[in-house]
Amino acid sequence: MAGIKGPAIFLAQFASDKAPFDTLENMAQWAGSLGYKGIQVPTDPALFDLEQAAESQQYCDDAQATCAKYGVEITELSTHLQGQLVAVHPAYDEQFDNFAPSHLHGDPKARTEWAINQLKLAAKASQRLGLNAHATFSGALMWHLVYPWPQRPAGLVEQGFAELARRWKPILDAFDEAGVDVCYEIHPGEDLHDGATFERFLKAVDNHPRANILYDPSHFVLQQLDYLDFIDRYHDRIKMFHVKDAEFLPNGRSGIYGGYQDWVDRPGRFRSLGDGQVDFKQIFSKLTQYGFEGWAVLEWECCLKDSAQGAAEGAPFIAQHIIEPATGAFDDFAGGEVSESRNRRILGLDSE
């Protein structure tokens, strides 16, 4: 068993137009200097040209070589923003237009078609990079229905998942052809936001082998789900891992819904690694127990701590939690040679 790889870092929360966060090479050098061995790359054209990567093996080889100069490798690509646009309820059209090129603003149909094509390009680009997993969001047609008031009409949720599956099946097939898993980050605001919704989607896409999970315990803390039991239930589908911390501190004024407050005032909020409530020792133990061999990727978000400090602390935190899988049983020293006749005597079978 190879075990969990890492530490790695998701670049999305750090990317900007200022060095060292402005180019893939600069960010690879920055990540390597902090002790990271891998980088998860958002498909922002400023960092990584998805269309060129899908068409050019040379572009992908050059990107990998550039990262290797600084001792890091590309762990996965991310299309979180494009995945969100595969399914958008009209109530969110104007807000989510910011995730698409400006010429698509105000044209939901064209925006959806663009997003679906982006995902198919990501499948090919991932294949060219030699990757086996891809990070994304599912999008949401039903998030406005998350609380059952007013009463939902019969069949509404089933119809919603059928439409979500209709949009995603061709994308999943494209990833299957490329030999890459689609890993949906289970996340509030998405139609796939907990185990029950993932199960509904999986059924709607006929248990597609490429429909898998990006596991991020922070989102379960904010929803008050059992994030360890989630691993027990869905470990066969967990193909990616975001190492992100969170805390939930309810009070008499607000709880899970947060009272429309800013992050710093919400009972549930994301924290830098080690500052929240997530039991990472148990998470790393369970993932190791179930043979997870993907990357442990820091996704840094915190409303209190500066990003520079969070990034610097993240690599050693992850490294300290990675478990090297045992190569043998701890009590092998007390065992004996395999002997069927000896086993029969121990079982008392020779005296029958």
Residues of the chain with pLDDT under 50: none
Q: What is the CATH number of the domain that holds 177?
A: 3.20.20.150
Residue range 105-118, pLDDT digits in tens: 999 999 999 999 99
Tracing tokens 């060292």 back to the chain, one arrives at: 20
pLDDT for 135 equals 98
Tell me the residue ranges of DSSP E strands in the chain: 5-10, 38-42, 73-79, 133-136, 181-185, 211-215, 238-243, 245-248, 268-271, 295-298
In the chain, the number of structural domains is: 1
Enter the DSSP assignment of 17.
S
All residues at 6 or more sequence positions from 177 whose CB lies less than 8 Å from its CB, including other chains: 123
- On whether the CB atoms of residues 74 and 38 are closer than 8 A, the answer is yes
Cβ burial of 84 (10 Å; 0-12, 13-18, 19+) is buried
Of 268, 270, 269, the C-alpha closest to 242 is 270
Of 191, 82, 188, 183, the C-alpha closest to 140 is 191
Taking phi first (over 0 means left), then psi (-120 to 50 degrees means alpha), and beta for anything else, what does residue 224 get?
Answer: left
CA-CA distance, 296 to 161, in Å (whole number)? 30
Of 27, 16, 22, 18, the C-alpha closest to 69 is 27
pLDDT for 47 equals 96
pLDDT for 352 equals 66
Residue 197, both tokens: 């919704």
Which residues span the domain enclosing 204? 5-351
The CA angle 217-241-111, to the nearest 5 degrees, is 95
